[in-house]
Structure 1
Amino acid sequence: MRTIDVIATGLRFPEGPAFASDGTLWCVEQEGASLFWLKPDGTSGRLHLGIGSRPNGLYIDDRDRLWFCDSGFQAIRCINYPDQEPETIVDHIGDDPLDWPNDLTFDSEGNLLFTCPGSPDEDQPGFVGVCTAVGEVRKISETLFYPNGIAFLPNARTLLVAETHRKRIWAGRWDGTGLNWISPTVWAETGPTGFGPDGLTLGPDNLLYAAIYGGSCLQVYKPTGTLAGTIKLPGENPTNCAFDPTRQLGLVVTETQKGQLLCIRD
């Protein structure tokens, strides 16, 4: 039987859960200008990012570096923890500044891919960008309305992007050498529930988990884009989710209505 427990409260718009190699769970606090951490022994704390920061998506690489989108500074930033000094990695594409960077991931070639949806109050197309390991930055899509969560399917070659304002998820073949998102098409329609898909996470079961912001649920999809199930949540606004590699916490969800971290165990 599935159980849902609250493992942290009092968070100010949590997003982007991710696990470090020592089992520490991290997430951002968009409205708290901080990264929140929770260790396996139950201790917790915050790493403050400074006035003006508005962190969003978070990715922890195999060197335990914390990569995060910061819409306050219009930048992708990185912390080589425990040095704790954020470094700006990307803040422009050509002469254009980033536009509310939201979520990010890496491909198998070491390219950083990220979404820039623009302001959530505007219904204008945003863009998806890429930054190579040598610092080349370009846009790979400029047609989606509020591009948000970003993830790969199990083959590591099919790139998925959530289009929140149109309530759908797009899929296309990713060429990590030529830096092209090839023939993206609508992979799934998330339906009338909520505002639309937010964060996307590939599970160890090779299913895709989409947080439906405003919908009080996660939707679970097969690699074909077929809906496999729905996980109801106690809070209205899940933003993203991540699986604990140690399996102790199961599936962790960030939820902003109540400012909580949830864990779902079977």
Structure 2
Amino acid sequence: MKNITIIATGLQFPEGPAFTSDGTLWCVEQDGASLFWLKPDGTTGRIQVGIGSRPNGLYIDDLDRLWFCDSGQHAIRCINYADQEPETIVDHVGEEPLDWPNDLIFDPEGNLIFTCPGPSEEDEPGFVSVCSTVGEVKKISEKLFYPNGVAFLPNGRTLLVSETHRKRIWAGRWDAVGLNWINPTVWAETGPNGFGPDGLTLGPDNQIYVAIYGGSCIQVYKPTGVLSDTIKLPGENPTNCAFDPTGRLGLVVTEGEKGQLLSIQL
């Protein structure tokens, strides 16, 4: 097992690690209706985001705005500053409410891409959607069974989406002008262990790091989709991962079984 340090405990099903420009590590607490933060000096705190909220994926943009999926409120929400109330940005695709939004990412042009898998216990296809820079919302896929984590390959033009219930990851060319996910095909099969791939992130080595929920590991893939490494974890349910841009914490993993934040020096 690699050098793994527990940097936070007692979290209520953490997900979506991300960093603001001051080096603060953030994550959501799905069962705590909150966003948790850990500053470089070791101080911690929480922002409560409302009764009935169930925050999931988290993305922090260049302006340090905190965007998060709220599966409890079936919406994409945003906090401009840490002391402001969350604002609902998207809650429908046409006339259809968002169905348990899970994870989100922005493309290089500023379009917001997010997954809506529906309830985890149902084995029905979910959908993947995009909200353009002018607020147009449309579906880009309706065929994946529990679409989950999202990431881009190093070229910034190939969109990856985890399909948890089928234990595989899809890749397709992303058309940022027409807002289309073109010719998605299976990029990787994650194997028999666990429930399947959850959150995933692009590493500084241009490899893709994938949290295998229920599999007690992070799987590492080359841009071609070939498995290059498996990082064993002390907890069974890693939900997502992200790299500290300063390098101080290395790879940070949110772990749901034990309610921990892990730091891995690779």
Query: TM-score w.r.t. structure 2 length?
Result: 0.99
Q: Does 1:109 align with 2:78?
A: no
Q: In the alignment, which residue of structure 1 is the partner of 2:248?
A: 248
CA distance in 1, matches of 2:58, 2:94: 24
Could you give the per-residue CA deviations for residues 153-176 of structure 1, whole angstroms, max 9, x where no partner exists? Answer: 000000000000000000000000
**Aligned residue runs from structure 1 range 180-195, under 5 A:** 180-195=180-195
Q: Is the 8 A contact 1:108 1:156 kept in 2?
A: yes
CA distance in 2, matches of 1:216, 1:260: 13
Quote how far apart the aligned CAs of 1:50 are: 1.3
Could you give the per-residue CA deviations for residues 97-128 of structure 1, whole angstroms, max 9, x where no partner exists? Answer: 00000000000110000000000010000000
CA distance in 2, matches of 1:82, 1:4: 29
Q: In the alignment, which residue of structure 1 is the partner of 2:159?
A: 159
Q: Is the 8 A contact 1:153 1:160 kept in 2?
A: yes
Q: Is the 8 A contact 1:237 1:255 kept in 2?
A: yes
Could you say what secondary structure the match of 1:31 adopts?
A: helix
Quote how far apart the aligned CAs of 1:19 are: 0.4
Could you give the per-residue CA deviations for residues 177-233 of structure 1, whole angstroms, max 9, x where no partner exists? Answer: 000100000000000010000001000000000000000000000000000010000
Quote how far apart the aligned CAs of 1:88 are: 0.4
CA distance in 2, matches of 1:90, 1:50: 17
CA distance in 2, matches of 1:62, 1:256: 28
Q: In the alignment, which residue of structure 1 is the partner of 2:147?
A: 147
Q: Is the 8 A contact 2:47 2:82 kept in 1?
A: no
Quote how far apart the aligned CAs of 1:2 are: 3.2
**Aligned residue runs from structure 1 range 16-27, under 5 A:** 16-27=16-27
Could you give the per-residue CA deviations for residues 40-90 of structure 1, whole angstroms, max 9, x where no partner exists? Answer: 000000000111000000000000000000011000000001342100000
Q: Is the 8 A contact 1:103 1:148 kept in 2?
A: yes
Q: Is the 8 A contact 2:67 2:78 kept in 1?
A: yes
**Structure 1 residue identity aligned to 2:259:** G
5+ residue gaps, structure 2, are: none
Could you say what secondary structure the match of 2:109 adopts?
A: coil
CA distance in 2, matches of 1:41, 1:149: 30
Q: Is the 8 A contact 1:57 1:103 kept in 2?
A: yes
**Structure 2 residue identity aligned to 1:159:** L
Q: In the alignment, which residue of structure 1 is the partner of 2:175?
A: 175
Could you say what secondary structure the match of 2:76 adopts?
A: strand
CA distance in 2, matches of 1:156, 1:67: 20
**Aligned residue runs from structure 1 range 76-155, under 5 A:** 76-155=76-155
Could you say what secondary structure the match of 1:165 adopts?
A: helix
Could you say what secondary structure the match of 2:236 adopts?
A: coil
5+ residue gaps, structure 1, are: none
Q: Over the residues paired in the alignment, what is the CA RMSD in angstroms?
A: 0.7
**Structure 1 residue identity aligned to 2:53:** S
**Structure 2 residue identity aligned to 1:146:** Y
Q: In the alignment, which residue of structure 1 is the partner of 2:218?
A: 218
Q: Is the 8 A contact 1:69 1:77 kept in 2?
A: yes
**Structure 1 residue identity aligned to 2:147:** P
Could you give the per-residue CA deviations for residues 110-149 of structure 1, whole angstroms, max 9, x where no partner exists? Answer: 0000000000010000000000111000000000000000
**Structure 2 residue identity aligned to 1:265:** Q
Q: Is the 8 A contact 1:47 1:84 kept in 2?
A: no
**Aligned residue runs from structure 1 range 60-75, under 5 A:** 60-75=60-75
Q: Is the 8 A contact 2:190 2:196 kept in 1?
A: yes
**Aligned residue runs from structure 1 range 20-59, under 5 A:** 20-59=20-59
